[in-house]
Structures are given as C-alpha cells and as structure tokens.
Structure 1
Amino acid sequence: MLRPLHSLLVLPLLWAGTALAQTAPASSINKAKLDSLLTILDTNHKLAGSLQLTQNGQVVYSRAIGPEQAGVPATTATHYRIGSISKTFTATMVMQLVEEGKLKLNAPIATWFPTLPNAATITVDHLLHHRSGLFDFTHDPAYVQYMTQPKTQAELLAIISAQPVEFAPGAKYAYNNSNYVVLSYLVEKLTKQPYAQALQKRIADKLGLKDTYYGSRIDSKKHEAASFMWDGATWQVQRETDMSIPSGAGAITSTPADLTRFIEGLYAGKLVKPATLQLMQTLQDGYGKGLSLIPFGSKQGFGHFGSIDGYRSALTYFPADKLTIAYCGNGVASGYSVNDLVIGALAIYFNKPYPLPDFSGPTLTAAELSGFVGEYASSQMPLKISIMAAQNTLVAQATGQSPFPLTAKSKTTFVYSTAGITMEFDAVAHTFMLHQGANHFLFTRQ
C-alpha cells in the first residue's frame, strides 16, 4: 500500500539539543559504531535494507542488511522500490518543463484534466505543494482490494474525481498521493512519452543512473528486493502494489548509490538551474516542490522519505556539509523506524553522543500496556505527550512532533534510546517521569 509518508523530522528530541560539531573528515568517521548499529538492527530484525553516506562525492559508508528475497541476503547492489522519493523525481521533471517554457506553475489543471473537481482553480503549483484539496485515492476504502491490480489513467482519474474535494485549492497543506499521480500524467502529456521514458531521458541518462527506473512486477533475476514485515519469528513477504497505480508518486525503483547521484546531480545544477532549485526548496507549511526541509540539530538538509508496501526509504542532502544520506529498505518491524536509523547514522557521522539501541527487555501484554495509555501533561513544560499502545509496545508522540516507539526495559520503564529518553511509569498514580540527559520532568495523565 502506498502510504501517506514524506519527510519526517529527523531529530525528535523534546527540546533543542546542543549545536552539532563541525563536519568530520571521512577518515575520522566512526565506521565501527555505524557497523554496530546496523548489526544490532539486523540481529534484532528491526530493519532490512541498504544504507549509504557520501561526503563531497566520496562514499564514506555503505552496507546492506537483511534479505533481498526469501533466503537470499541483500547486497549494496540490491534494487528497492523507493516509494514517495519518486515525488522528487517527478517534481524535477515538472520544473524542467517550466524552464523549457512548456508549462507555467500558475496554469490551471483544467487545461489537461477538466473532469477533476475544482480543475479550473487548482494550479500546477498547488499539486507540487500538496495544496490542491483533491481526494487522495489511497484513502479510498476499496484501495486495498484493487492495489495489486493494473489501473489505467482514466480509471484512477475517475476514482479521484468521484470523491468530494477536501478543501478549497490553496487553503491548506495536506500530503496527498493524488497530486503527484496527476503530475505524472501531466509529464506524459507534455513530453509525449510514457513516464518511464521521460524519467530515463530527463534524469537517468543525464546522470548515468544505471539502477533507477520505473518499476514493474518484482523480478528476482534483476536483484529486485521483495518487501517484508517481521512477524516476530520470520520475515513475511508483503502484498505487491501494481506499479500502474502510484506512477510518479511512488513507482520508481533505485539503489542508495543512484539516489545519491540523483540528489547530488540536482544540487550541482545538472538537472535544473540554481534558481529553479531554489524554488523547489521554497517551503509552504514545511513542503517545497518535491522537497522537504529535514533538519538535524542546527544543520539543514533537503530531501524526502518514502513508503510503499513493506519498503521504506530516505534521501537527504546537507548542502553546507556536502553530505548525502540515502537508505533503501524492504523490511520493517515494530519498535524501530527509518527515521530512527537516519538519526543514528547522522549522530555517529557528526560525532554526536549517541547510545546504541538496546532491544532487550520484557514482553508486556495488551492489558499491561493499556494502563499507561493516555495524554499526559507537565507543569514544568508546555509540551503534552500522548502515549499509545501498538504491536506489544508503547508509542509516544509529543505536541507537534512525529511519533516514536518505546522499548520496554522493565514492566514500568521504557526507553527511546535514539534520543536518550527514559520514561518511568506509575500506573496507579497515572504519571510518568521523563528523563533526557540532565533534564527530569513529571507528567500526569489528563
């Protein structure tokens, strides 16, 4: 299933941390610690995938963990579906067409898609910034029934058109896969080519991307990874979305090495002009044109996250440091996320204190976890924290931040080691004490 996931905030600390150290020379990167992190994730079946870090065009770290196919280990040459990172490719091609004078950002989409609701007032720019108000077809209750079957453009446009709009064009931001599917169709209309050919000609050929292409049915002979979910005992193969459906919103296959070449080529002016790139980075409610701001402490990166079926991906470029981090994955489990991996890899790269995750601890029942669920507040700080139960663990979410998983260290103590957070619960008093570094806060359930 194509999930409504784009770029996550890469430092979910509850308060501002200290400034990061200056960029470490490649020779001083603690590769052993980064290896230890991936080994822990592999041993505990938390993620399966491939990670690469590149500084100033030089690969400083590259490793794959987990299976490529059942019984076949992944390598750094394994190909993965990248989900919504495809949107950055689509936005790049749209902006190329703008540069060529074939398209205007303020053009109403009624010119090409007159049957879509509000087509006369929705512009190309609204689609790029997820501000169209169109219905997201992945929210269609029937989506899970047809996601594995081919769909034509006409059929998908009809599905989008059949539902009422969610808001007036430009009124607000709402991440929406329909926006980039429509943009994909627009690329095809203006280039007079299938999306796959436009991708090859406009991006892959220009940058020499040998392993980036429009996906089709998974082919193990091409070292294409199946997608998995860890069920507590084995990696279970997930359903396979038919690639006629996500199009330029999520249908591209690639590798971390090619994703790195793509975003570095984008920032080097090989795909669009610097002024156009600046437009792509201009944010509205945190989202640009196929790019999001992804901060890490005082550092600013730009990129995108992706998710489809069991695949997860992340791509971020830090211009000031000439650093790229790229991850393509095909296996997920409860209690950890790609966002956590990115935090850990960046913390290790920048020589920031970072405790390796520890997944040892007791297994709690649903009844035991339910005693901790609720919304908590503290008189010591304005932040509220919601505690939820999910898949035999707890998940916490602070006001305005992304949710993060907690690992049980005892029946009442939970940790989020990525951010150095410990929570000690008292189910009778309906409180927890939060510890992070030298800070200690008492939270009470409301």
Structure 2
Amino acid sequence: MLRASISLLALPLLWAGTVTAQTALPSSFNKAKLDSLLTVLDAKHKLAGSLQLTQNGQVVYSRAIGPEQPNVPATTATRYRIGSISKTFTATIIMQLVEEGKLKLNAPIATWFPDLPNASTITVDQLLHHRSGLGDFTRDPAYVQYMTQPKTQAELLALIRARPVEFEPGARYDYNNSNYVLLGYVVEKVTRQPYAQALQKRITGKLGLKNTYYGGRLNSQQHEAASFVWDGATWQIQRETDMSIPGGAGAITSTPADLTRFLEGLFAGKLVKPATLQQMQVMQDGYGVGMRIVPFGNQQSYGHFGSIDGYRSALTYFPADKLTVAYCGNGSSPDYTLSDLLVGTLSIYFNKPYRLPDFNAPKIEAADLTALVGNYASTQMPLKINVTANGTTLMAQATGQSAFPLTAKSRTTFVYDAAGLTMEFDAAARTFMLHQGANHFLFTRQ
C-alpha cells in the first residue's frame, strides 16, 4: 500500500565529536566498496533494484541487481514503479501552474470537488503539505480487495468522501495519499489534459526523460520490472496495483537515471523559478511541497521515498555536494531495508566509518540477550545508552536519539555498521566497551 512510502533516513551518531561534516570529492569515493555492498546484497537476496549516484551532473556509480522479471536479470535500463516519488512530480506541476497564474495555493478544493468534506475550507496548499484532514482511502481495510482493479475518478472521489475526517483543515500534518490523488485531478482540470500528457509536456519532455511516464499494466517487453519479496528460497512475485488508483500520488514509472536528471533539473531551475523552489523547500512539520529533508549525519538533502506493492524507491539531492542519489527497487527481504542501503551508500560515498553487513552472523536466542539489557553510563562521555531486546534483536538507544538495531557478531559482540560501532559486552562485570573509530569507551550498567 502507498501508506508505507515515507521513512526518514537518520544516522544515529552516539558521539558527535567523533564525526565531522565532509564534502566528498569523486576521487575519494570508494566505488569498489559500494560494489562489494551490492554484491553481498545480491548474493544473499536482500534487495533487488537499481542504484545511481551523480555528482555535479556526472554519473559516478550505476548498478542493478536482482531480477527484472522471473528469470530475467535487471539492468540499469530496467524501469520501475516509483510509488510516492510521484508526489514530487505532481507538486512540481502544481507549482508551475501557480507561477503561470492558472492556480492559487489558497484556492479551496470546492472549486473542483464541492462534495468532499470541508471542501470550502481545504486549500491546494494544505493538500500539498498533507494538512487537509481528509481521510486516506488507502487505509481502508477494503483497499487490498480492490487495489488491483481499475477505478474511475468518480469512484475514487466517492471512496475519499466516505473516509472519516481526521482533523480540521490546517490543524496538523498527516501523510495522506488522498491529498496527492486529488492534486493529480487538479492538474487535469486546470490543464485540461490527462495527467500523463501534462507530465510529458511539463517535465519529461522538457528534460528529455524518455523512461519516465504514467504507468499502466506491467509490460515486460518494455523492460518494466515486476515486484518481488524473498521468501527464504525464491523471489515471489507480488500483486500489481492498477495505476488508475494511485494517480498523482504514486503512478509514475521511471529509472534511477531519469530520476537523477529530474531532481537535478528541478534544483537547477529548469522546471520552476528559484523562488518557487525555495518555497517548496520550506518544511511544515517535516514536509515541504512534495519533498522532505533527508538528513545524513551533519549533512542535509531534499527528496522523497516511495513504496507500492513490492517496489521501494528513494530520491534525494545534497545541494552542498551537488550529489543526487536515486534508487528504484523491486524486491526486498524482511531483514534488510531501503534505509539500510542508503546509510551504507552514503557512508561509503562520504568516506564515513562503515562495515559491510555480515549475513552469516551466529544464531541468537532471546535468552542470550537477557543478561545484556539495561541502562548503561560512562565516565568518559555524557551520553547514556539504554540496551533492550526486541525478540532476538538487541537494540540500543542513546540519550535523545532513536533506538537502532545491533547485529550480532557473537553472543557478546554486537555492531551497528552504519555508524561504525562495536559493543563488546561482559555480562558478569555488567559492562560493555564501545568502539567507534579510534575511540573506546567503557559503559557500566546502572
């Protein structure tokens, strides 16, 4: 379902003094290490998809792994459904229409959808920022029953109208696919063109994106990827959402190469004026106009994530480094996520401490972790670390930071590869040693 499309990439750094901001040059990028990461992910069936990095408009890395279709390997030309990255395209078209004076951000949606709840008070701007309060039709339990069947605009409007209102317009943020489905319809009504034609005229045609378009039924002859999940033995093909449903919220098909050109074109002023781009980057509760801030350590980028069926995608741009990262995926496994891939990719690109994941870790039972959990403190650094167990996974959470999972190297040694951390426990002494780079800290359970 589209609802799962947003997750923030945040790298937990236990000790800020050990990491500094760094502007990477292409010559410092360890391509062989990133290749090794994708090789192990491919060999262990952790992800299937295509990754591209560009720096200052030049491709510095491009590789595809896994299947395109059953028994057909993916290539860098494989086309993928990108899910909610479509929202960035839709938001860009809306802002073009605002620039042209054909649309106002404060226009009430009653102009086009008078029968929707609160239509006279919900504005286009609130749709863009997910602040409309409308119910999300993809949260309806019945969604999974009809998602593979075509729906008309009238049918989808009826589904949105039937959902309970979540809050008064503008009261708060709530990520919601109904908002961008409606914005896709606004594009059609204002331009008097189908969304697919408006997309081609206003974005893909301008930038020469020949592999980006409004999707339809999957066409293997056009190198469109099916989506899969690894079941422990084979890649299992997933159900296919009918593209009449996600519309402007998630119906676009693309490639990492085209996605990088799109975001570079947007930030280069080829699609909207600089003042409009700045307006799109202003965050309200963490969400701007079709984009959000994606932090990595001390660095900041702007982009979006996507999820539909078995597809997972990410697109983000670091203005200070002129670095664009695009990933289109069509296969995943339960124990390795898109965020894991991005942390590894960015750590390697920016030359941060990072160990390649080891999927041959020893088998850990829940009972093995009991003696390790507790609150730990150190006389050598101000942070405290709370160690907990989630089933057979050991979790760590530093003061003021989010919890993150640790990977077992043995029954007493655990690592967090994304931050280059190793924690060596001595259950009898009620301590662990924390190693990060050249730093070593002793923590004692309180």
TM-score, normalising length: structure 2? 0.90
Contact 1:423 1:432 in 2 (8 A): no
C-alpha distance in structure 2 between counterparts of 1:136 and 1:395, whole Å: 32
The yes-or-no answer on 1:19 pairing with 2:25 is: no
Q: CA deviation at 1:177?
A: 1.0
Q: Which residue of 1 aligns with 2:155?
A: 155
Q: Deviations over 1:195-247 (max 9, x none)?
A: 11111111000000000001111111111111111111111111111111111
C-alpha separation between the residues in 2 aligned to 1:368 and 1:248? 48
1:394-434 CA distances to partner (integer Å, 9 max, x unpaired)? 677778867755433335654332223446689999x9958
User: Is the 1:372–1:387 Cα contact (8 Å) retained in structure 2?
Assistant: no
**RMSD of aligned Cα (Å):** 2.7
Partner of 1:32: 32
CA contact (8 A) 1:93 1:202 kept: yes
Larger Rg: 2
User: What is the aligned partner in structure 2 of residue 435 from structure 1?
Assistant: 434
What is the deviation of 1:3? 3.1
Conservation of the 8 A alpha-carbon contact between 2:364 and 2:411: yes
Superposition deviation, residue 369 in structure 1: 8.5
Question: Hey, what's the Cα distance between the residues in 2 that align with 1:301 and 1:107?
Answer: 30
Residue 390 (structure 2) aligns with: 388
How many Å apart are 1:11 and its aligned residue? 2.0
- Residues 1:415 and 1:193: Cα distance change in structure 2 (over 3 Å): same
Separation in 2 of the partners of 1:141 and 1:441?
A: 47
Compared with structure 1, are the counterparts of its residues 425 and 18 closer, same or farther at alpha carbon in structure 2 (3 Å cutoff)?
A: closer
Whether the 8 Å contact between 1:8 and 1:402 is mirrored in structure 2 is no
Following superposition of structure 1 onto structure 2, how do residues 372-383 of structure 1 map, counting pairs within 5 Å? Answer: 381=383
* Cα offsets for 1:19-66 (capped at 9, x unmatched): 132221x24421111111111111111111111111111111111111
| Alignment match, 2:409 | 409
Quickly say closer, same or farther: Cα 1:427–1:195, change in 2 above 3 A. farther
Amino acid of the structure 2 residue aligned with 1:18: V
Distance 1:309 1:250 in 2: 11
Do residues 76 (structure 1) and 62 (structure 2) align? Answer: no
Q: Which moved more, 1:355-364 or 1:433-442?
A: 433-442
Q: Is the 8 A contact 2:425 2:432 kept in 1?
A: yes
> In the TM superposition, what whole-angstrom CA distance separates every residue of 1:163-203 from its partner, at most 9, and x where no partner exists?
22111111111111111111111111111111111111110
Q: 1:398 to 1:165 in 2, by over 3 A?
A: farther
Within a 5 Å distance, the mapping from 1:305-316 to structure 2 comes to: 305-316=305-316
Deviation at 1:334, TM superposition (A): 2.0
**Partners of 1:413 and 1:422 within 8 A in 2:** yes
Measured after TM superposition, the shift of residue 340 of structure 1 is: 1.6
| Distance across 2 between alignment mates of 1:117 and 1:221 | 43
Distance 1:422 1:12 in 2: 14
Letter in 1 for 2:289: K
Contact persistence 1:9–1:401 (CA under 8 A): no
| Count of paired positions | 438
CA gap 1:73/1:62 in 2 versus in 1, 3 angstroms: same
**Match of residue 352 from structure 1:** 352
1:4 aligns to what SS in structure 2? helix
Q: Which shows bigger deviation, 131-140 or 253-262?
A: 131-140
**SS of the residue 2:9 aligns to:** coil
Judged with a 3 Å threshold, the aligned counterparts in structure 2 of structure 1 residues 236 and 411 are, in CA distance, closer, same or farther, namely farther
Aligned residue for 1:351, secondary structure, equals: coil
5+ residue gaps, structure 2, are none
1:421–1:434 Cα contact (<8 Å) kept: no
Is the CA contact 2:412–2:424 (under 8 Å) kept in the aligned structure 1? Answer: yes
With over 3 angstroms needed to count, the CA separation of the structure-2 counterparts of 1:373 and 1:189, relative to structure 1, is farther
Alpha carbons 1:83, 1:251 under 8 Å: kept: yes
Task: State the match for 1:330 in structure 2.
Answer: 330
Contact 1:433 1:442 in 2 (8 A): yes
Partner of 1:56: 56
Are 2:353 and 2:418, in contact at CA under 8 Å, matched by a contact in 1?
A: no
Structure 2: distance between partners of 1:402 and 1:149: 39
Alignment partner, residue 276 of structure 1 = 276
- Residues 66-88 of structure 1 deviation map (CA, whole Å, 9 limit, x = unaligned): 11111111100000111111010
**CA 1:166/1:19 → structure 2, altered by over 3 Å: closer, same or farther?**
same
CA distance in 2: counterparts of 1:388 and 1:100, whole angstroms? 53
For residue 149 of structure 1, give the secondary structure of its aligned residue in structure 2: coil
Q: Deviations over 1:235-261 (max 9, x none)?
A: 111111111111111111000000011
Q: Return closer, same or farther for 1:378/1:90 CA change in 2, 3 Å cut-off.
A: farther
Aligned residues of 1:413 and 1:424 also touching (Cα < 8 A): yes
Q: 1:20 to 1:103 in 2, by over 3 A?
A: same
Distance 1:56 1:140, change over 3 A: same
C-alpha distance in structure 1 between counterparts of 2:123 and 2:399, whole Å: 32
* SS in structure 2 of the partner of residue 121 of structure 1: coil
Alignment partners' CA distance in 2, 1:186 and 1:120: 15
> Separation in 2 of the partners of 1:159 and 1:192?
23
Are positions 1:118 and 2:115 aligned together? no
* CA shift for structure 1 position 386: 6.5
**Contact 2:387 2:394 survives alignment (8 Å):** no
Structure 2 Cα separation of the partners of residues 317 and 299 of structure 1: 11
Distance 2:15 2:126 in 1: 33
Contact 1:260 1:326 in 2 (8 A): yes
1:87–1:35 CA distance, 2 compared to 1 (3 A): same
Q: Work out the CA distance in 2 between the residues paired with 1:249 and 1:441.
A: 47
SS at match of 2:2: coil
Measured after TM superposition, the shift of residue 320 of structure 1 is 1.5
Instruction: Report the CA distance shift for 1:154/1:20 in structure 2 as closer, same or farther (over 3 A).
Output: same
Residue 138 of structure 1: aligned partner? 138
Given that 1:10 and 1:296 are in contact with CA atoms closer than 8 Å, whether structure 2 keeps it comes out as yes
Contact 2:10 2:296 in 1 (8 A): yes
Report which stretch shifted further, 267-276 or 3-12.
3-12
How far apart, in 1, do the equivalents of 2:406 and 2:311 lie? 22
What amino acid is aligned across from residue 276 of structure 1 in structure 2?
A: T
Once residues 298 and 346 of structure 1 are traced to their aligned partners in structure 2, the CA distance between those partners, rounded to angstroms, is 12
When residues 287 and 337 of structure 1 are mapped into structure 2, their CA distance, relative to the original with a 3 A threshold, is same
- Identical-pair percentage: 72
What secondary structure does 2:181 align onto? Answer: helix
